[in-house]
Chains A and B, each alone.
Chain A
């Protein structure tokens, strides 16, 4: 029970070296294994880390920031107008990219008013139930990343996809947006202002429907 202090020190050192070797070896193996693309579905290999931290901004490429939405009651009665507006006219041009694009409130509002985008709420069902953009579907981060089929099942009808979460500090909208890109969508926007900014601006908010089936439709 009481080995010589000097010998004990050496043993601890050798155990620590072994532990270090195991940790470093494990990291190396993991990186190599996943770097070979053997990551299962969806591929979340090394490129996942290498994703750009800062997304391009839709409004950033020259031109003044878009002006507020067209007047009248466009957003007050979703579903009341007969024909869904085609993305044209004063609607922003959304480039097809293999990565998400950031969008700001005015752009998002115009897409909303024209029903020219599919809105995806990346927050948890409880948050969605407490208030969300009318017409948005609930696709929580956990679900969409764990089960990519929930993303693949979503049919945006050729429209761009706008993903949002609570607001500026939240990252999940970006991650869900990446999931949409991986599922093959090419016009994916991240509304960085999120629900907080939207509700704070006094824009329409719908409540309820925060159950799991919200993710399916």
Chain B
């Protein structure tokens, strides 16, 4: 286990994690930015935040995703970006899990309207996997930075 952790703490592994997560989030952010109205509806579907805040979230959230993803890709402020991505993923996962627990069934809007995945266990697993990579990407490399 500690050997694995040491391997993952190597700079290339962390860099790879940053690029993978950054790439995924750039795609997700751009597809959300392209259709704010649809995103606002998808935010509404989760029925977690008050309606008045849904549009505000729909307008700003994808841009936070985009900046964090670009930071990861560029390697500038990459660890800050990784923490933002990890926090977002944790929130998304909680949202999906909550929606599942309440018996909702809708498209999660995780990738805007480009993604037809519905809220469900698969999405939770997907998010947790990405969360793991994001946490990895937030690590400081063992050797250098």
Please report A residues at the B interface, Cβ cutoff 8 Å.
1, 3, 11, 14-23, 25-27, 29-31, 33-34, 39-42, 44-45, 48-49, 53, 141-142, 145-146, 148, 171-172, 175
Contacts and interface: CB of A to CB of B under 8 A. Distances in A.
B36 A34 contact: yes
B35 to A, nearest CB: 5
Contacts of B55: 44, 48-49
Interface in B38-77: 38, 40-41, 44-45, 51-52, 55-56, 58-68, 71, 77
B122 interface: no
Contacts of A142: 41, 44-45
B121 to A, nearest CB: 23
Contacts of A145: 37, 40-41, 44
B116 interface: no
A26 B65 contact: yes
Given A19-B84, A26-B65, A44-B59, 5 more contacts: A3-B140, A22-B80, A22-B84, A146-B41, A172-B51
29 contacts: A1-B2, A1-B6, A18-B80, A18-B83, A19-B68, A19-B80, A19-B81, A22-B67, A22-B71, A22-B81, A26-B60, A26-B67, A30-B59, A30-B61, A30-B62, A30-B63, A30-B64, A33-B33, A33-B63, A34-B59, A39-B37, A49-B55, A49-B56, A142-B44, A142-B45, A145-B44, A146-B37, A171-B51, A175-B51
B80 A44 contact: no
A40 B80 contact: no
Interface string B4-26: 01100100000000000000000
Contacts of A23: 64, 84
Main secondary structure, interface of B, reads helix
Interface of B: 2, 5-6, 9, 33-38, 40-41, 44-45, 51-52, 55-56, 58-68, 71, 77, 79-84, 87, 138, 140, 142
Main secondary structure, interface of A, reads helix
A27 to B, nearest CB: 5
Nearest to A41: B37
